[in-house]
Each structure stands twice: as C-alpha cells, then as structure tokens.
Structure 1
Amino acid sequence: MLPLLWLLLAAPVSAPAMSSPVDPAFLSLAREVEAALLAGDEAALDARLDGEQFLQRVTRGLPVSSTFLEALTGEVRADGWPMGRRLLGSNGQGLHARLLQVRMRGRTPFALFRILSGAGLNYLELELGRNARNEAVIVDLFPYLEGERMSESMWRVYLLAAAERGQCLTRKLRGVERQWVEQLPRWRRIERLLGSGQGREAVEELDRLPPRLRGQKFVQLKRLELLASLDEAEYALGLLAFEKAFPQEPLLDLFALDNPMLRGESAVMMAAIDRLDRRVADPYMDYLRGRMLHGQDDLEGAKRLLQKALEEDPGLWEPRVELLSVAIEEADHAGAVHILEEMERGAGGSQMRVRIQEGPEARAFLESAEYKAWLERQRAREGRDGGSEVAEPAGP
C-alpha cells in the first residue's frame, strides 16, 4: 500500500446536521464557537463560558469556610477560566473543529464538536444554557478523552487546593473524597515525578493508592496515559481492565483507534469505529473505515467510503488525501491531478504542500505528463503570488 500523503491545508467550514427543536440562539452560539476555533481562537471557549454557573458547579459541596470560598471565587472572577488552552492546547496550530450536532437531552441543549489537532482525534460536548441576562452561554464542557465533565475534574482540583491551604474540613468528607484529600502528599509526589519525566515511578505511586481510590475513573485514565508511553503490553492490559470497569465509556473506542496493539486487528478496529459512530454520527468515521480498507488493498471499497465521507462533510480534507494516494497507487494520474486541483480550489488560495512518499507508483506519477503539466501551473502561480508551494517527493 502506498503510504499516506502529507497535506497541509486550511479547511473550510461546512454546515452541521442539527436535531430539532433547538432554540436558534443555541444554534447560533455553537456556530460562533466553531468559527472561532477554526480561526485558531481557543479562548472562544473561555469567552462564551458562563463563569458564574461553572463556578457554582465546581464549588458545590466543597467543605470549606465561607471566607475561603469567597476568596477562591474572587480569584476566579478576576482571572477567568482558561479552558480553551487546557482542552485544545494547540495555540491555534493544526486545530480543526467541526460542529456535528446540536441536540436536546430533556430540556438541556448540547453541542458536539469533532476536534482534530496534533494530539489526534477527540470530541468535545458543550452543555449550553442561559446566563443572568438570558444570553446563550456554555455551562459545562465534556471532552471525551477526559472521561468526565470539566466541572467534576475542577472540583477535585479545588478540593486539593483547599486541603493544601488548611481550609478543607475533612470531617465532612466520606469515602473516596476523604481518601482523595488524605492522599495529598502522594498526589504532589506524582506531580513532581511527572514534571521530571519519571513516568514509571509515577505509575508505581498511583498503584500505591488505596484500592477504592485507585479504581476511580480519573486515576485509571492517568495510569493509561502514562502506560501508553511506557509499555504497549501493560497498556493493553490496563485498557482491558478499564473496559471491564467502565464498559460504556466512549473514550474506549477513541483509545482503540490509537492503540498500536490493535492496528492489525481490522475486525476489532471496525467494531470500535462503528460503536463510536453510533454515538457521534460523524462522517469522519467513514474516512477511518475507508483508510482501513485501503490498508487491506480493497481499493474500490476504500474509494466508496472515502467519497461517502466527502459527500456528508465536504470540509474534510483527510479523505481527499487518501483518495489521492489511491489514485496514484492505481496509476490514475489524471484522477490524481483532478484531486489536487479540487484541493487547490477548496484551499481558496492558501499555500499547499504535498509530499509524496518514495516508491514505484509515486515515481511514475512524478514522471507523468499529467503531473508535470500541473507542476508547471503551480510554478506559474508561484511566480504570480510569490508563496504557493508545489508537490514534491518526500525525503528518504
């Protein structure tokens, strides 16, 4: 199989599918967030988050004095919530956000986004509501790879901060919450180990937590994150244990897509894609299916699914990259150039660089009359605008 082509392009915005009935104000808010994220403005999440409602969730039930709570909330009101950078963390580079749907669950509206960045694939669900001025706002955020709402994870952070400042009234805590505070020295030790790149030692510290606390989702997720960079076999075992404990978690299927132990297990991978698709209804899943079929040399099946992904979401670029790879592999040089031209039109004049991996099919394409004619057009364009980059063979 010809390796993937590497394409760097700016993607246009395409209209998402919506469920109804949804208040137009929430649809408008979701689209505004999408446009801002596509423009590289990660702070759009912070600007549209209702800090007061989010703060109420984060501090609800904290066993602290009213004086401390007032001081804590005053700090947040002054500094705001830096959710965008924490969740997206790309500084606007390589970030592609796609609004997939806005739907009601009961009386609460939710907006679901696909997030593609240098960190890979994630989904971000925003809980929407209204503020004191009756404006549509974000109330809470649920990134799939975090496994919980941000208000839940921030509640634990604030609980530890209160304990560290001597303000946490532990006699009001029970069970896991009390253990969470009692293990404060170990949490700080784990943070120091992570900060110094000692991942194995951090895993060992996590494994020394009390059994009930060790079994919590957020602890298991941190452990999996560390094992993924340490040992594939241990990561696979940890993933099985997590799946047994939390069988309905959507992040399990996201993990499967990036699990090196499963890359040769096409049936398992397809099942993970299907489960995730039932939850998110995302055309990107057809791209992943097509890519898998391409890897199995089912070129016709791959093309059918890749085209389907583009029909449902014309703003996707990854299927075009894969289709270009298929066309070169099939020696369809005219078709490959046609795809390149479509990419040019879609990029709207943005710079384009295509790097083609070495191989007999790639060399044949680079030597073809169709490619050379396209290359001449690119060079002419470069002379006019002084910035466009052309297709070139990749290095060895």
Structure 2
Amino acid sequence: MFPLLWLLLAGPVSPPGMSSSVDPAFLSLAREVEAALRDGNPAALDARLDGDELLQRVTRGLPVSSAFIEELTADVHKRGWPLGRRLLGSGGQGLQVRLLHVRMRGRTPFALFRVLSDSGLNYLEFELGRNARNEAVIFDLHPYLEGERLSESSWRVYLLAAAERGQCLTQRLRGPDREWVEHLPQLRRIERLLAEDRDREALEEMDRLPPRVREARFTQLRRLAVLASLDEAEYALGLLTFEKAFPGDPLLDLFALDNPLLRGEGAVMMQAIDRLDRRVGDPYLHYLRGMVMLRQEDLAGAKRSFQKALEGDPALLAPYVELLSLAIEEADHAGAVRLLEAMEREIKGGEMRVRIEDGPHASAFLESAEYKAWLGRQVARERRDGGSELSGPTVP
C-alpha cells in the first residue's frame, strides 16, 4: 500500500451529543475549552478556571498553618493558575482536540476530550461546576496519561514546597507522605537530572528511592515516561511492573497502544481498545481498530471500522485517508473522488491539501478521468472563491 499524506487546517467540529439532564451552560463551557485548546489560547482556559476552588482542594489537609498556606499560595493568588500553559506548552499549535461528551456523574458534570498530538493519544476530563457567582466554571482536570487530577499532583508539589521552606512536616505526617518529604533532596536531584536530559542517571536515582515512594503511581508513571524515550524493551518491562502494581488500571489500555511488544498482537490490541472504548466512548477508537485490521490484512474489516469511525465523528480525517488509500490501490477511482468530496464537505470554509506520493496505483488515479474532473472543479472553485486547495503529486 502506497503512503498517502494529508494536512488539515481549520477543520470544523460538530457538536457532541448531550444528555437532557446536562445544563446547557456546561456544554457551552466545554465548547469554549475545546476551542481554546484547538486554537492554542491558554488565557481562555485560565479565565474559566475557578482558581479559589482548586486552591482549596490543593491545600486541604496540608499539615501547615493557615498563615503559611497564605505565604505558599501568594503567587497563585497574584497570577492565577497556569492551566492553559500546562496543557498547551509553549503554543499548543497542532493539537487535534475533540469534545466527546458532557455527562453527569451524580450531581457533577464532567467534560471529556480526546487530544491527539505528537505525543500520541490522550484524554482530558474536566470537572465542571458553578462558582459563587453561579457561573459555569472548571473545578479540576484529569489528564488520563498523568494518572491523577491536577489537584492531586499539585498537592504533592505544595507538600514538598512546604518542606523546602523549613516546615517540620515529618512530625505531622505518616506513611508515604512522610517518606516523600524525607527524600526531598533525592527527588529534587531526579528533577535536575531530567531537566539536563540525563535520563539514565535519573532512572538509577528513581530505583534508589524507598519502596513506598518508588512504587507510588506518580513515580511509576514518571519512570515509564523516561523509559519510553530510552529503550523499547525496558519500556515494555516497565509496563509489566506497572500492571503488576496497578492491575486493571485504565491507563494500561492507553499504554498498550504504544507498547512495541504488542503491536503485532492483534487480539491483545483489540482487547485494550475495547476496554478503553467502554470507558471513553470515542469513535476514533474504531479508526485504531481498523489500523489493527490493516496490519492483519483484513481489508474488509478495516473498511468497516473506518466507516464506523466516520459515522460517529464525521470530522475525523484519518479514516478518510485510509479509505482513500485503499480505494486508489483497488483502482476504485470514482470511490476515491467521492471520498475527496466528503473530506471537502467536512472542512467547510477551511483548507485541504492532499499530497499523493508517487507509485503505480497513484499514477493510475492521477491519470484517471475521475481525478482530472475533480481537480478541474477544485481549480475553478479556487479561482472563484479561494476554496480548498490541492497540491499535485510529489515524489518522496
């Protein structure tokens, strides 16, 4: 199968389904979050965060005085929470963000987003609520790949910050929290090593932590992130260690999608995708099923999965790309043009650039009457109103 590459700019996002029990204000807020993430706009995210509520969650239970908490949180009170910068990094451009649904869990609304980036697939879950002025706001955030809520990870940061500022916490803490504080110098050394790209030394330092700190979920996830950039075999072993410590954890299914040792295990991959889908209800996972089937040379099954992905989320372009590639390979030129037209409809008002790389099947398609007629319509429309664009065939 020849490679077919695509680039989508300014694509549309159709509204997700919503239960009638969800307040429309929360769906409106979720759409604002989606637009801010897609456009790389951290300020829009930060403006909808209830910083006071988050700060209460972060500092709840810290064994320090209220006066010291005020000192510790002074910067947050002054500048606010950098939620947008945390999610978007230096710019956030290139993120593919999709609001999947807004659902009630008990009396609390949660908005779930799919995020595709250079780092792969992730899901972000926002806990929503109303502030003292009865405005719909964000209370908390759970990035699935981090394994915990922002309030939980920030609590640990504040605990260690309090220890660094001379608070005698070891007398007021028990269990793993006390060990975190006792091994603060070692934890800070790990952070410095990672910042200096000395990943192997950082791993060795992690392995010297006491068992309860070393085996904590946060440490295990940090260790996996480092292993993923170092060695595939070690990463796979790290996954096994994580699975033993946290059996049945939903994170394992996300990790499985990137596990090099499972890429050829179609049945195992399908099971992981199915478990993840039951949790998130994401049409994109039909696309991943189709990719597994392609590797198994089940072309009919792959096509069905790609079509299901598009039925669930017509704005997904990746399934179109695979279906287009298959249609061209099978010399279904009319079908390939129908797919191109469908892609155009899904990016109303945006730009579509398709690059078809050289190869015998591609050459036949590019010489076909169907393609030339479609290209003529593209050129005419481009001259008329600056619509979608097509770049001609290129050689790798």
Instruction: Indicate whether the TM-score tops 0.5.
Output: yes
Tell me the residue number matched to 2:127. Answer: 127
In 2, the alpha carbon distance for the partners of 1:308 and 1:387 equals 28
In 2, the alpha carbon distance for the partners of 1:63 and 1:225 equals 31
The count of aligned residue pairs is 396
Tell me the residue number matched to 2:181. Answer: 181
In 1, the alpha carbon distance for the partners of 2:18 and 2:385 equals 40
Instruction: In structure 1, list runs of 5 or more residues that go unmatched.
Output: none
Deviation at 1:354, TM superposition (A): 1.6
In 2, the alpha carbon distance for the partners of 1:245 and 1:185 equals 25
Tell me the residue number matched to 1:303. Answer: 303
Tell me the residue number matched to 2:290. Answer: 290
CA shift in 2, pair 1:159/1:290, >3 Å? same
- Give the aligned residue type for 1:315: A
Root-mean-square deviation over aligned CA pairs = 2.0
Deviation at 1:168, TM superposition (A): 4.9
- Give the aligned residue type for 1:146: E
The answer to whether the 8 A contact 1:11-1:317 is kept is no
Instruction: In structure 2, list runs of 5 or more residues that go unmatched.
Output: none
Q: Which moved more, 1:238-247 or 1:290-299?
A: 290-299
In 1, the alpha carbon distance for the partners of 2:96 and 2:90 equals 10
Deviation at 1:153, TM superposition (A): 0.4
Tell me the residue number matched to 2:224. Answer: 224
Deviation at 1:4, TM superposition (A): 4.9
Task: Encode CA deviations 1:152-194: one digit per residue, 9 max, x unaligned.
Answer: 0011111111222223532111111111111111122111211
Question: What pairs up with 1:252-291 in 2 under 5 angstroms?
Answer: 252-291=252-291
Q: Which moved more, 1:338-347 or 1:50-59?
A: 338-347
TM-score, scaled to structure 1? 0.93
In 2, the alpha carbon distance for the partners of 1:131 and 1:386 equals 45
In 2, the alpha carbon distance for the partners of 1:352 and 1:27 equals 29
Deviation at 1:388, TM superposition (A): 5.5
- Give the aligned residue type for 1:228: A
In 2, the alpha carbon distance for the partners of 1:388 and 1:108 equals 42
Deviation at 1:239, TM superposition (A): 0.2
TM-score, scaled to structure 2? 0.93
Task: Encode CA deviations 1:312-358: one digit per residue, 9 max, x unaligned.
Answer: 21222211111111111211112212211222232223232222234
The answer to whether the 8 A contact 1:357-1:395 is kept is yes
The answer to whether the 8 A contact 1:144-1:251 is kept is yes
Question: What pairs up with 1:160-179 in 2 under 5 angstroms?
Answer: 160-179=160-179
Deviation at 1:212, TM superposition (A): 1.0
Deviation at 1:33, TM superposition (A): 2.0
Deviation at 1:395, TM superposition (A): 4.0
Matched, 1:326 2:326: yes
Deviation at 1:382, TM superposition (A): 4.6
Question: What pairs up with 1:308-387 in 2 under 5 angstroms?
Answer: 308-383=308-383
In 1, the alpha carbon distance for the partners of 2:384 and 2:27 equals 41
The answer to whether the 8 A contact 1:18-1:102 is kept is yes
The answer to whether the 8 A contact 1:20-1:103 is kept is no
3-state SS of 2:100 partner: strand
Tell me the residue number matched to 2:45. Answer: 45
Deviation at 1:393, TM superposition (A): 3.5
